[in-house]
Amino acid sequence: MNEEKETERSRVATESPHKGKTGLARVWSAWFHSLDGLRAAFRHEDAFRQEVLLAAILIPAAFLLHSAGAGRALMVGSVLLVLVVELLNSAVEAAVDRASVESHPLAKRAKDIGSAAVFLSLINVPVVWALVLFG
């Protein structure tokens, strides 16, 4: 019985203090953590800043070009997907660097796979736009 209590105490001690929030308190907290994440990515990630600039140009352009609502949604969605994938890639890179800045094949693999995901999301943008506009 004491072993169960100790295991439970150990588990609770390692969980985030934000895990206990529910309802609007959780939504409110998540909102501010998300804004912090966006600010951190914008401040520390050159690629994210470049992709935000791309989004600032392409998203308004999607509304100016003649396409149906579904086409516009696909065009905007493809651009937003790049930002989402870049955020995830940046998070992986930060976690890998936090674990160790030493060169390791698994760290390289993780970073390369994240980079490949960003690359594919970037390729997706012109493909979707071309299909919507010319397909």
Catalytic residues: 86
**Residue listed under structure tokens 């105490």:** 9
What residues have CB less than 8 Å from 54, skipping those under 6 apart? 79, 82
Q: In angstroms, rounded to a whole number, what is the distance separating the alpha carbons of residues 51 and 110?
A: 21
